[in-house]
Amino acid sequence: MFLYFLPKTKAAKPDVLERFGLSDLFDGKPATREMMGLGPGDQPGLLICHGRVDQVTLEYLPKVQTWQKRFDSDAWMGIANDAVLSPSELARPSQIDGHPLALADGNRWLIPQLRAFSPTQLDGPLIYVPKLKRTLTQDPENGDLVPGDVIAKYSAIWKEATEIGDRLLTQLQQPGATIADLPDSKLYGFASRVLALNYRMGNAEIAMANLLQTDMAVRIVQLALDWDTLRANLGNRLCRATLGTPTPSNTTPAASV
């Protein structure tokens, strides 16, 4: 369980959490405790964490805890030196379906799948379907309700997934290309944001808990983008082309499910 310290603060209101860059880490009202003495950085302030006050030990104990200032924020974060992370404790109330993956802590974390290909769709451009929630829109030709864009909550991550997916597809079609051809900063950042869709964490929490290794970040990207199915589809198309029936291999999102 991660603890957070807000210097010179007495209440963890939504605007306060946003000011400290913590709003994405709390889905509800945090447990709080105002420091009677000095906290991290020898400052007065407020300790906060997930859960109810009667369920957590909300104390500043520097001898048995590790504390560090969050990047680009005045907030501090801490964790007990003997803490064991639990995916269930950090899970968001509503999670996106996906695939379990063992991370560096030995636990299996649910990695959200953002899109889905069909391995047997061999004709025409590769079609993928968003696995995120989508709004319903009206078909201009027949008036039916059909799936439209992903909801606003996921628009940024979907845009990023589409851009990265298209780039990696282009690389995949080159001899010897791998998903790791994506610049490290983009690959690791995207993996972190994907994990954050299902869990209350960001770069700081991942780093403090030593939760990810380079190969695990790569695998998160693969699972999010349905990489295995994409490769199977391209393999099937290659086999078909070898037999004399070439097919195009550019991609496009499906208009409907």
pLDDT tens per residue, range 224-251: 999 888 888 777 777 766 665 544 445 5
5: three-class secondary structure by DSSP: strand
Render pLDDT for 47-75 as a digit per residue (tens, 0 to 9). Answer: 999 876 555 578 999 999 999 999 989 99
Task: Pick the closest to residue 21 from 41, 6, 40 (CA basis).
Answer: 6
pLDDT of residue 183: 82
**What's the pLDDT score for residue 197?**
97
pLDDT at 120: 76
Give 189's pLDDT tier (boundaries 50, 70, 90). very high
Which residues in 71-155 belong to E strands, given as ranges?
76-80, 98-102, 108-112, 115-117, 126-130, 134-138, 145-150
The burial class, CB within 10 Å (0-12 / 13-18 / 19+), for 142 is exposed
pTM above 0.75, yes or no: yes
Q: What is the pLDDT of residues 124-172, one digit of tens each?
A: 777 889 999 999 999 999 999 999 999 999 999 999 999 998 888 877 7
What span, in angstroms and rounded, lies between the C-alpha atoms of 219 and 225? 10
Q: Which residue has the higher pLDDT, 249 or 23?
A: 23
Q: pLDDT, tens digit, for every residue of 103-132?
A: 999 999 999 999 998 877 777 777 889 999
pLDDT at 181 over 70: no
